[in-house]
Amino acid sequence: MNCPNCQSEYPETTITCTKCGFPFTGNDQEKSSFIAKQILKAGDIGDATQSIKNAQNILYGIGIVTCLFSFFVSADSLTLILNLILGVGFLIFGYLVIKSPMQILTLALALLLSIYLLNALIDWTTLFRGIIWKVICVSALSYAIIKYKKAEKIKKESDYLSNIK
């Protein structure tokens, strides 16, 4: 027989699918609730992938905006160079975030919050400049971190789900 959830083949005497945990000997309700939970978990993994892709777009956006604006807002060439390095840094974060989401997302979020804080310490009104854009960036990165953590936990618990993208 085949596992109805992951399609692995088993002898008739199997009690639980070793790949995905499907309860062969359970009643209909147990079986259908197992499948329903698997679908929800697979959905969580898909959400995590999507939220990391969104975070990637945000990081590219921050990088491009920082590079472009550095030419207008930098008072001297040193500030210009620093702003350009920062902008390129965020572009690199965007490039790497799919490969190592947790490290890059945490690093980018910490860097972004430090920049906002540093600017606010120099001039507190900067905090409200582009506030909606700031909120979007911080929430998108934080959301991706939370979703990624949840998906990793699900993947650890199940061999079968760990192969879902």
| 104 touches Zn ion by CB under 5 A | no
Shortest separation between residue 104's beta carbon and Zn ion, angstroms = 33
Measured N-to-C along each axis, helices 101-122 and 28-73 cross at an angle, to the nearest 10 degrees, of: 40
Contact mark string toward Zn ion, 111..140, x via CB under 5 A = ------------------------------
Q: How far apart are CA 130 and CA 124, in angstroms?
A: 13
Segment 12 to 51, residues that bind Zn ion, using CB under 5 A:
17, 19-20, 22
Residue 55's nearest CA partner among 95, 14, 28 is 95
| 52 touches Zn ion by CB under 5 A | no
Q: Which residues contact 80 (CB under 8 A, 6 or more apart)?
A: 70, 71, 74
Of 9 and 76, which has the nearer Cβ to Zn ion?
Answer: 9
| Residues 90, 62 contacting (CB under 8 angstroms) | yes
Q: How far apart are CA 154 and CA 44, in angstroms?
A: 8
| 3 touches Zn ion by CB under 5 A | yes
Shortest separation between residue 29's beta carbon and Zn ion, angstroms = 18
Shortest separation between residue 19's beta carbon and Zn ion, angstroms = 5
| 161 touches Zn ion by CB under 5 A | no
Enumerate binding residues for Zn ion (CB under 5 A). Answer: 3, 5-6, 17, 19-20, 22
